[in-house]
Amino acid sequence: MVNVVALSVFIVFFILVTVLGFVAARWRRGDLSLLNEWGLAGRRFGTVITWFLLGGDLYTAYTFVAVPGLMFNSGATGFFAVPYTIVAYPLVYLLMPRFWSVARKHGYITASDFVRDRFGSSTLALVVAFTGILATMPYIALQMFGIEVSIAQMGVPVEAALIIAFLILAAYTYTSGLRAPAMIALVKDLMIFTVMIAAIIVIPIKLGGFGNIFAAAHTKHLSAIAQGTTFRDLLTTPQAQLAYATLALGSALALFLYPHAMTGVLSSSSRQVVKRNAALLPLYSLMLGLLALLGYMAIAAGTGVTSQPAFHNYKANGAVPSLMSWAFPDWFAGFAFAAISIGALVPAAVMSIAAANLFTRNIYKEYFRPNCSDREESTVAKVVSLVVKFGALLFILLVPATNIINFQLLGGVWIIQTLPPVFLGLYTNWMHRWAMIIGWAGGMIAGTWMAVANNFASSVFTISLGNVKIAAYIAVYSLLLNLVLTLILTPVFRALGVPSGKDNTQPSDYEEEGLAALPKEPLMEELA
């Protein structure tokens, strides 16, 4: 059954966003045939726009769909997303201003550009670019999945609707570049905050207060113990605690290695903007924490949720759309589905732009057309952004839904392997380029192997040392292996006389405030 009211509201907001996406091309007009303009919007975003863009970019369908789904299925473990997005920002404060400064000074558009210059190694740069693209693809597919569960709840044929959403996204990203998601992010965030505030007030009232919600989760906890299943509403074992902490830390380390996060940072107009956002972005983390609790609310709502179509088709991943239908009148449910779907389009657009930037700068230009013109560079990026999104669309149409979240898990394991050259590289060039390449390979192989050994069912891997069992996030184990290899092999390569690459950056490049000549914009003028 198609829910006509919900669908109408949904379509109205989709049209609004599509129009905005195309209008964005004229916003703070720049020459969109330059990659710096198309892919980084001319690096002119101030504090407010950067806040919306990064918030819209980092808090994705993973936040709205997968995290509450994990809370529904596994309980307290799923709440790791909260400490994850708390500790991510002190790291941002330490690392990203340095990255911003050196990128501005040398005109870098990607992390791979930086690595190439810092370590004088195009192979290492290729490794970073390849990993970035590889890790981004399943992440874009996850965004499409977020749209899919919302559409399914409205009773619309999923494939056809997804293809339409894809075409809209592809068209405005192609014409407007990063300006489109930046402008749409404003609408997205207002919609998501509206839904969140409504949900966090209305649903607990309907369910008789937070006491009842957590009592329902505790009942599920007790029956899980009786039945030998894994749901727990606290971290009941030392293993669970270590797993929780490593999931949070590993995810936080990985977050700003993702190309779409870097793109958001580089599009900002100054180092101060980056620092201010490190203090302002946690407001979204509070929202994420409250949204995570929707998983428990879905438990408390019982058959009100489990009888809904999205839950029927997607189990726990359909919990949030199902809860919205149960709790709200059709028109507001339609608004909520539009919020989730637009919330998925913004990161999908930035991710495809970031992947396109990587391909164009660090593979196409580096290996195929070293002398290509600026115009050609920008054209290739636009086309690649289409290819990347099309790949994600095929992925979502062909691969079973549960595997999509598992691939995203692998994405985190992969991207964290670029930490030594990118993050450590912001502070030191001590590491030998070949040591980092071997460390990367070791981490990739070990991490992928552990995920396969787990049958992709969990991102936590258990190691038994005699009687002691250690359970931790796969990304953390594999990163440790990577770091140990890098640390040991660096002096080995030096001793063997393998030449280090030439560092083209100066220590002062990492501290500079940037072009002080840029006009200081009043906050509200930014929005105009």
Site residues for another protein per CB under 8 A:
76, 79, 82-83, 85-87, 89-90, 93-94, 209-214, 233-235, 241, 244-245, 248-249, 275-276, 278-283, 285-286, 289-290, 293, 511-513, 516
CB of 208 to another protein, least distance (A): 9
CB of 445 to another protein, least distance (A): 27
CB of 344 to another protein, least distance (A): 22
CB of 428 to another protein, least distance (A): 17
CB closer to another protein, 11 vs 202: 202
Residue closest to 210 by CA, chosen among 121, 299, 271? 299
CB of 178 to another protein, least distance (A): 25
CB closer to another protein, 91 vs 401: 91
CB of 326 to another protein, least distance (A): 20
Rounded to whole angstroms, how far apart are CA atoms 104 and 268?
Answer: 10
CB closer to another protein, 126 vs 255: 255
CB of 336 to another protein, least distance (A): 22
Inter-CA distances, 62 with 146, 263, 412, Å? 8, 19, 12
CB closer to another protein, 212 vs 379: 212
CB of 79 to another protein, least distance (A): 7
28 Rama sector, left if φ>0, alpha if ψ -120 to 50, beta otherwise: left
CB of 67 to another protein, least distance (A): 13
Tell me the CB-side half-sphere exposure of residue 403, using CA atoms within 13 A: 8
SS3 at position 469: strand
CB closer to another protein, 88 vs 405: 88
Q: Dihedrals φ, ψ of 469, to 5°?
A: -110, 125
Rounded to whole angstroms, how far apart are CA atoms 35 and 109?
Answer: 8
Rounded to whole angstroms, how far apart are CA atoms 398 and 394?
Answer: 6
Q: Dihedrals φ, ψ of 189, to 5°?
A: -65, -40
CB closer to another protein, 230 vs 402: 230
Q: Where are the beta strands (DSSP E) in 406-503?
A: 460-465, 468-473
17 CB contacts (<8 Å, ≥6 apart)? 184, 187, 188, 342, 345
Pairing verdict, β 460-465 and 468-473: antiparallel
CB closer to another protein, 49 vs 278: 278
Contact 138, 131 (CB under 8 A): no
CB closer to another protein, 189 vs 233: 233
Which amino acid, 389?
K
CA 255 to chain centre: 7
CB of 133 to another protein, least distance (A): 30
CB closer to another protein, 204 vs 391: 204
- For residue 323 the two structure tokens come to 């809860």
- What is the DSSP track for 120-135? --HHHHHHHHHHHHHH
Tell me the CB-side half-sphere exposure of residue 217, using CA atoms within 13 A: 25
Contact 309, 280 (CB under 8 A): no
CB closer to another protein, 28 vs 206: 206
Inter-CA distances, 150 with 65, 66, 304, 321, Å? 9, 13, 17, 6
Give the Cβ contact number of residue 171 at 10 Å. Answer: 15
CB of 124 to another protein, least distance (A): 28
- What is the DSSP track for 181-195? HHHHHHHHHHHHHHH
CB closer to another protein, 245 vs 386: 245
